[in-house]
Structure 1
Amino acid sequence: MSRLTIESTVDLHTGRKIPRLGFGSGNLRDQIGVDAVEHAIKTGYLMVDTAQQYQNEREVGTGIAKSGVPRNQIFICTKWQPRPDGSTERPTPERVCQEAHQSVLRLDQSGSGKEYLDLMLIHHPRPDSDGRAAHWKGLALAQKEGWVKDIGVSNFNIKHLEALPGPLPAVNQLELHPWCQQREVVDYCTKKGIVLQAFCPLVRIRKDKFEDPVVVRIAKKHEKGVAHILLRWSLQKGFVPIPKTSSAERIEANKDLYDFELDSEDMEELDGLDQGAAGRVSGIDPAHLPD
């Protein structure tokens, strides 16, 4: 394995690149969100993940602007939000594109008027195949207009991916950690060249997970914290983890991943923790949706 650093990237099948480590901003709002994003970027993170659902795109944009780091050195990912379960509204591709563009306006807190998105995802595969196709065509339209560089999906299973019209998604963002490895969809995406972003890579600091004897033992072996082991596992699996925290101390600690490597025995033990759907901590499992 080539040596990983905070500057390491993964090639997207479109020819562009995505940083190997991101900063998650889910539910970090108001000044807490601004400060967390600003600190993360100043500390060396090169990617920030947000979403319309988080209601913090303005805070993310402000944090990026306050960091002083040039916009072209930061990779911004956000997500368009489908209608809630049970809604009868069916937005057209044109409507999806218009709503997606609102994210650009919210993120442009530098006042440049030239904001763009490096990556935009569909946050969830609801409601059904026709809805997903319309949503995807909307993001493809945004990409064609030029203010979105790459487009992808989140929480999509194989059946959802197979039914999409072109183009092929650049990214699928999933809950991925040793207890929820989603191996079938991971294998599918890997074969297709779809990069996998990992949300909840730190299992929301769940006590039962962080005190798992396997993870604790490996952490002691490497003289690292449990969070380091989980994030390093994600990196070595080829994923793009996006840990979230508002703590300046943890923001810095979560990127301290590059002075050690998990060996094959470590990886095998961590792989053995997989609990399938039962291991989820996000509560998001779209398997019930229509094909």
Structure 2
Amino acid sequence: MEYLVLNNGIKMPMEGIGTFLLSPDEAEQSVLNALKTGYRLIDTANAYVNEKAVGRAIKKSGITREDIFLETKIWPSFYEQEDAIEKTLERLDTDYIDLLLIHQPAGNYIAGYRLMEKYYKEGKIKAIGLSNFNKEQIQEILDICEVEPAILQTEVHPYNQEKELKEFLDKYGIAIQAWYPLGHGDKTLLEEPVFNKLAKKYKKSTAQIILRWHIQNGTIVIPGSKNPDHIRDNFYLFDFSLTDEEMSEINSLNQDKRYYTSTPELLDSYVKMVPPVDEQK
């Protein structure tokens, strides 16, 4: 495993398991499989409605809590609830969260950020960050924050490399974390000739080549899967390195192509949507 030191000195694994779109049963089993394989970073969210399952998997794994980097996200409809983070801790059955993010730039996200800062100062959160924020929205947070964000989680993959955004984040030491690191499973991306060529050279899958490219670019990845074979294969990224020329070849694939596009209407709908967190198994 390789690690990245965040701007507040916290060490974070470069790869983890994502639990987006996984049912509680699927999330519990996937996290158990991932921890058994060697993963130590787990990503979940209020909106995934599987935090309790993630907490159970951590307990069942037998791995010391301090050896696991647990990340979750607050949903917009909870930003103004003073007990939102306390309830998140209860669902995860943990005394602290390693990284907590504002999930969407919707509603009163300033109130949500202030709440995260409060819990950060109390030591119940080790690092805080943002998810799906653009440059202007990040700057708004930087202009008012007492604790700078350590992470931006957003859509990054070879077709959408966010080079300008990364340059901006680098000025503040904000690390970037990719969801959809494999381009939402786009076969066109996965079957790019360069990936097929490098897969044969290194005896890896095209997915492993793409994930390795991310890591060498300093991007933290959280590929999600409920397939034990994929979970295992996605972890074996640290026994080879791409050359500078190969990295450049992949860098040239950028198309600024996104699979998720935010709109004001969509963000408004997020504020009104209340995930059934109290009903989860």
Is 1:231 matched up with 2:211? yes
Query: Hey, what does 1:192 align to over in structure 2?
Result: 172
- TM-score norm. by structure 1 comes to 0.86
- Whichever residue aligns with residue 271 of structure 1, its letter is N
Counterpart amino acid of residue 134 in structure 1:
A
2:4 pairs with 6, 10, 15, which one?
A: 10
Q: Structure 1's 115 and 16: CA in aligned 2 closer, same or farther, altered over 3 A?
A: same
Q: Is 1:249 the equivalent of 2:229? A: yes
Q: Quote how far apart the aligned CAs of 1:222 are.
A: 2.1
Query: CA offsets, 1:161-180, max 9 Å, x none?
Result: 11112121011111111111
Matching residue within 26, 30, 40 for 1:32: 26
Cα separation, 2, equivalents of 1:117 and 1:219? 36
SS at match of 2:165: helix
In the superposition, relative to structure 1, how do residues 196 and 286 fare at CA in structure 2: closer, same or farther (>3 Å)? farther
The AA in structure 2 aligned to 1:159 is E
- 8 Å Cα contact 2:24/2:49 also seen in 1: no
- Once the two structures are TM-superposed, the CA of residue 195 in structure 1 deviates from its matched residue by 1.2
Give the total of aligned pairs.
264
Deviates further, 216-225 or 53-62: 216-225
Alignment root-mean-square deviation, CA: 1.9
Q: Is 1:173 the equivalent of 2:153?
A: yes
CA distance in 2, matches of 1:154, 1:220: 35
Q: Which residue of 1 aligns with 2:277?
A: none
TM-score (norm 2): 0.89
Contact conserved, 1:154 with 1:172, CA < 8 A, in 2?
A: yes
* Identical-pair percentage: 37
| Aligned match for 1:98, one of 83, 100, 115 | 83
1:38-75 deviation per Cα after TM superposition (whole angstroms, max 9, x unaligned): 11011100110000111100111111111110111000
Letter in structure 2 aligned against 1:221: K
In the TM superposition, 1:115-134 aligns within 5 A as 115-127=95-107, 131-134=108-111
Match of 2:72 in 1: 78
1:78 counterpart SS class = strand
Q: Which residue of 2 aligns with 1:51?
A: 45
| Structure 2 residues not aligned, in runs of 5+ | 269-281
CA contact under 8 A between 1:156 and 1:286: conserved in structure 2? no
Q: Which of 56, 64, 70 is residue 58 of structure 2 equivalent to?
A: 64
* Partner SS, residue 225 of structure 2: coil
Deviation for aligned residue 1:207: 1.4
2-side partners of 1:168 and 1:49: how far apart?
Answer: 20
CA contact (8 A) 2:79 2:109 kept: no
